[in-house]
Amino acid sequence: MQQKKFEDLFESYLQNNLSELEQQEMMEIIAQGTHDDFIKEKIQLMLNENNAVEAIDHKQGEFILNYILSKPQNEPKVFTLEPERKNRKKIVRFVFAAASIALLAFIGSTFFFKSNPVVPAATIEQPVKESSLIAFSGKQLVHLPDGSTILLNDNSSLKYDQDAFGTKTREVTLTGEAFFDIKRNEQKPFIVHTGKVQTRVLGTAFNINARSSSDNIEVTVARGKVQVGDTEKVYGVITPNQQIKVNRTTLNYEQHNNVSAAIVTEWKSNYLILDDINMQEAVALISQKYKVQILLSNEKIKNCRITASFLNEEDLDHVMKVICSVIETEYHYNKAGNILLDGKGCE
């Protein structure tokens, strides 16, 4: 009784005479796997007939395919199959081939491929390659493979394709605000994508503010030259203390030639970045930020190198404890309120 009901449902389905409820009922019966023989024979017959294309239309194929692809991941994977026929183009042109074979894969009937030598063996869909996209978010110092560095401001993000980066160009995508310090490479330009706007450089230092809270994208140069434009034209080439401001919607732009890059990048002053520098340079940066004098008890301490980033407005004592743990020194305050670093230093 159920066999006859299913056959009637399937035939009615091919004639576009099923309601949505009846279509769903048919799919549920298929899922039970008790009518594999009928489906196999029906599809084989349709493949051998010249009117196979008219048998299942695009909408029907879409329904079957969407139903199958919506099943949980532990269901059988979709197979692809291309029947060898003289009128193959006619069949492939339609969704029937993909939908019918996907249907066979769904019911898990491998016997179809084994018992019909006329039909080529199924090909399992190749696994999708893992994404090579690397993303960073939040305030942090990003080291790129080419030696360039990017300091991300709060509520900002950066991404790039590690497989493509450095092949012909060096391209990244920015959301928010960041300060770029780019290693020069005339053969491989560095390009920053911010919406439709592209900032192109060879080697320079510049700031981009592309926060969503603003209608504009601002590019300000601290060192070197920067070209700003889109895929169709160049807006301008700017040098230190110059800025190009672009409306992210209309792409209208204006250039300002008397901008203080120091003021624009003042947000960086909240961060303390010690990026593989010696202690003499580190002491100067710490002293400047915290308005304190730091003395070294041993000249060899200057030779020690350190890499550390303090991005959360850490207090002075926290910074000194971290540094001392890295270069194996100790610190204390003298009577004058200065900091004295004591240790054997580095050769």
pLDDT at 54: 45
Closest CA to 109 of 25, 43, 12, 23: 43
- Give dist(CA 187, CA 125) in Å, integer: 39
- Give dist(CA 285, CA 42) in Å, integer: 79
Give, for 105, the enclosing helix (H) or strand (E).
helix 96-107
Beta bridge pairs of residue 207: 179, 220
- Percentage of residues in the chain having pLDDT higher than 70: 71
Q: Give residue 206's identity as a one-letter amino acid code.
A: F
- Give dist(CA 291, CA 289) in Å, integer: 6
Q: Are 67 and 28 in contact (CB under 8 A)?
A: no
CATH architecture type of domain 133-266: Sandwich (2.60)
Within a 10 A sphere around the Cβ of 132, how many other Cβ atoms? Answer: 11
pLDDT at 221: 97
Q: Are 279 and 296 in contact (CB under 8 A)?
A: yes
Provide the Cα torsion 289, 294, 296, 299; round to 10°. Answer: 40
Parts of the chain belonging to CATH 2.60.120.1440 = 133-266
Mode of pairing for the β-strands spanning 216-223 and 243-247: antiparallel
Local mean pLDDT, 10-residue blocks, the chain (347 residues): 74 76 76 69 62 47 46 39 38 38 42 39 48 91 95 96 95 98 95 96 95 95 96 95 96 96 93 93 94 94 93 93 93 94 91
Parts of the chain belonging to CATH 3.55.50.30 = 271-342
Q: Are 102 and 79 in contact (CB under 8 A)?
A: yes
- Give dist(CA 98, CA 74) in Å, integer: 20
Q: Is the pTM of this model over 0.95?
A: no
pLDDT at 116: 41
Beta bridge pairs of residue 219: 208, 244
CB within 8 A of 172, min separation 6: which ones?
A: 144, 150, 158, 159, 160, 165, 190, 191, 192, 193
Reported as a single tens digit per residue, the pLDDT across 29-63 is 776 667 766 776 676 666 555 444 444 454 455 45
- CATH code at 271-342: 3.55.50.30
